[in-house]
Amino acid sequence: MNHRFATAGLFVLLATLWGFSFLAISVGLETLEPILFAAFRYDIAAVLLLGYAVFGGATWRPTDRANLGAVLAGGVFLVGANAFLFVGQQTVPSGVAAIMQSLVPIVTSLWALGLLPEERVSARGAVGILLGFAGVALIVRPDPANLTGGLVGRLFILLQVAGVALGGVLVQRASPTLDNAALSGWSMFVGGVLLHAVSAGVGEPFALPSTPAAGAAVGYLGVFATAIAFLIYFTLLEVRGALETSLVSYLVPVVATIAGVVVLGESITPLTIVGFGVVFAGFVVLKRRAIADLVDGARRAGGTAGD
| Interval 73-120: pLDDT, tens | 999 999 999 999 999 999 999 988 998 888 888 888 888 888 887 666
Q: Is the pLDDT of residue 146 over 70?
A: no
Q: What percent of the chain has pLDDT over 90?
A: 44
Nearest to residue 223, comparing CAs of 53, 48, 56? Answer: 48
Q: Is the pLDDT of residue 202 over 90?
A: yes
- pLDDT value for 216: 97
Which range has the top average pLDDT, 51-55, 67-71, 116-120, 272-276? Answer: 67-71
CA-to-CA dists, residue 233 to 18, 26, 113, 226, angstroms: 10, 23, 24, 10
Please state the length of the chain: 307
Gyration radius of the chain over CA positions: 19
Instruction: Write down the pLDDT at residue 84.
Output: 97
Q: Residues of the chain with pLDDT > 70: what percent?
A: 87
DSSP 178: S
From 279, 231, 222, 287, select the one nearest 21 (Cα to Cα). Answer: 222
Q: What is the C-alpha separation between 10 and 30, in angstroms, rounded?
A: 31
Alpha helices in the chain (DSSP H): 2-28, 34-55, 65-73, 82-88, 94-100, 104-115, 123-140, 152-174, 180-201, 212-219, 229-246, 252-264, 270-286, 288-306
Please calculate the CA angle 190-195-197 and round it to the nearest 5 degrees: 100
Question: Among 61-70, 77-86, 212-221, 237-246, whose mean pLDDT is lowest?
Answer: 237-246
For the chain, the average pLDDT equals 86
pLDDT digits (tens, 9 = 90+) for 277-304: 888 888 888 777 766 766 666 666 665 5
Q: Cα dihedral angle (138, 107, 83, 63), rounded to 10 degrees?
A: 170
The DSSP result for 199-243, as a single string, is HHHTTPPP----SHHHHHHHHIIIIIIIIIHHHHHHHHHHHHHHH
CB 88 within 8 A of CB 154: yes
Q: What pLDDT score was predicted for residue 1?
A: 44
Give dist(CA 19, CA 122) in Å, integer: 32
Rounded CA-CA distance 257/261 in Å is 6
- Do 94 and 259 form a contact (C-beta atoms < 8 A)? yes
Please tell me which residue, 212 or 8, carries the higher pLDDT value.
212
Confidence of residue 192 (pLDDT cuts 50, 70, 90): very high
What's the rounded Cα separation, in Å, for the pair 262 and 267? 10
Q: Kindly report which listed range (133-142, 221-230, 256-265) carries the lowest average pLDDT score.
A: 133-142
pLDDT computed for residue 142 by the predictor: 59
The pLDDT tens digits of the residues spanning 155-190 come to: 999 999 999 999 988 998 898 989 889 999 999 999
